[in-house]
Amino acid sequence: MNAKRPKFAVIIPDGAADEPLDELGGRTPLQAAEIPHLDRLARGGRAGLVRTIPEDAAQPGSDIAALSILGYDPIRYYTGRAPLEAASLGVRLDAGDVAFRCNLVTVEGDTLADYSAGEISTDEARVLIQLVNEKLGGSRIHFFPGVSYRHLMVWRDASDEVRTVPPHDFMDQPIEPNLPQGEGEKRLRQLTWDSREILEEHEINRRRRDAGLAPANMIWLWGQGRDPNLPSFAVKYQVTGAVIGAVDLIRGIARCAGLAAPQVAGATGNLQTDFAAKGRAAVEALEQYDFVLCHVEAPDEAAHHGEIEKKIWAIEQVDRHVVGPVLEALQGRPDYRLLTLPDHPTPIAVRTHTRAPVPFVIFGSDISPRGADEFSEPAAAATGFVIDEGHRLMDEFLAPV
């Protein structure tokens, strides 16, 4: 690493924050997990709580939380989730275009059974989305393949004045009450139902059913918005930077902010991701850039499925394969800081995101220990240190060393 400039790293175990669970003896998954590196940071750094989702934000999404963490006030800059993902896919949005997140989902009868179609593989999903585009796309509507179940639809010269619901918010509930409402709802609903006719008996879905896997038998459109306009992160904070992440949302925010977003082989955005590869990529990026953010989706995926043990396991993998190596690399330098925090809670009990503040810790060569006993929600709350406007945390983290 260049020894002349301070280095800054941020690690986000997505959705790791939770609530006390009876199944864990009143502990949270963070408290139940074996996370020696995160606990060391908490004891030796400055810990507290930060509210990454403003109270008046439309919904507690990763998009809003990630903007906050990177120092952008979401009330000012947020236009929707899908436009950020469009940036990751290299899809240009012109004036009047509206981007929609397009999930491949599993429906059973009139109920949403799985928001991720069993975390369908990218190769399978690409075939299905290309078919949907062939059958349902046209001069004004186009579908773009993404990663696993996460895809994109762009509607040219359309309105974004429509209410949509993220599919992970109504798992095992009826579809009808959650369909789009507002301008353009008729077209959006028709696309949704038509996709089921196209996908239900596709060969890929027949094979998936035969193998005991969830079929990707419908699309779900949500997270709409227009092209955002984020100021350059490098200009704002006077650092070069990169983001290590697998999901299009995080990579899209990086590109909108002018940050590098290198591809990492084996990074999948789910529980099968290569945690060690992400840790190595973060360490390698610190050789080239002043600032590196590493995002790991896996804890959030486990929480959406209500899988306690898998969430604990994913948190432990982040600690072992990402936090540990990044901390070791940074401690070889005279000047460094490391910030760790979930982007939002994803409580097992509700299987979706909430607005509660999350624990954070800033650890570094110039940070005096004013920490907590461990990296957890209760320990962070016990410090009494709360940052109510999440976008101000980055200002504090990147203050001159």
Tell me what the mean pLDDT of segment 160-180 comes to.
95
**In the chain, % of residues over pLDDT 90:** 92
> Which tens digits make up the pLDDT trace of 348-366?
999 999 999 999 999 999 9
DSSP letter at 149 equals T
Higher pLDDT, 60 or 24: 24
List beta partners, residue 295. Answer: 12
Using 50, 70 and 90 to split pLDDT, how confident is the model at 56? confident
- The confidence score (pLDDT) of residue 2 equals 46
Q: What is the mean pLDDT of residues 31-41?
A: 98
Residues contacting 51, CB < 8 A, separation 6+? 355, 357, 386, 387, 388, 389, 390
Min mean pLDDT across 52-66, 93-107, 238-252 is at 52-66
The predicted structure's pLDDT at residue 120: 96
Q: Which helix (H) or strand (E) holds 396?
A: helix 393-397
Closest CA to 101 of 77, 131, 129, 122: 129
98-146: pLDDT as tens digits: 999 999 999 999 999 999 999 999 999 999 999 999 999 999 999 999 9
pLDDT of residue 1: 44
Report angle CA 261, 130, 352 to the nearest 5 degrees: 60
Quote the pTM value: 0.86
Amino acid symbol at 396: E
Q: First vs last Cα of the chain: how many Å apart? A: 17
Q: Is the pLDDT of residue 33 over 60?
A: yes
The pLDDT tens digits for 177-226 are 999 999 999 999 999 999 999 999 999 999 999 999 999 999 999 999 99
Reply yes or no on whether the pLDDT at 342 is more than 90.
yes
Q: What is the pLDDT of the chain when averaged over all its residues?
A: 95
pLDDT for position 401: 60
**Token digits of residue 71:** 């120092």
pLDDT value at residue 361 = 98
Q: What is the pLDDT of residue 5?
A: 81
DSSP for 222-261?
Answer: EEEEPPP-PPPHHHHHS--EEEE-SSHHHHHHHHHTT-B-
**Torsion angles phi and psi, residue 337, rounded to 5:** -145, 145
Average of per-residue pLDDT across 273-281: 97
Average pLDDT over residues 270-275: 93
Region 42-61: what's the mean pLDDT? Answer: 92
Which of 285, 307, 317, 265 lies closest to 38, judged by CA? 317
Domains of the chain: 7-78+229-397 (3.40.720.10), 88-225 (no CATH)
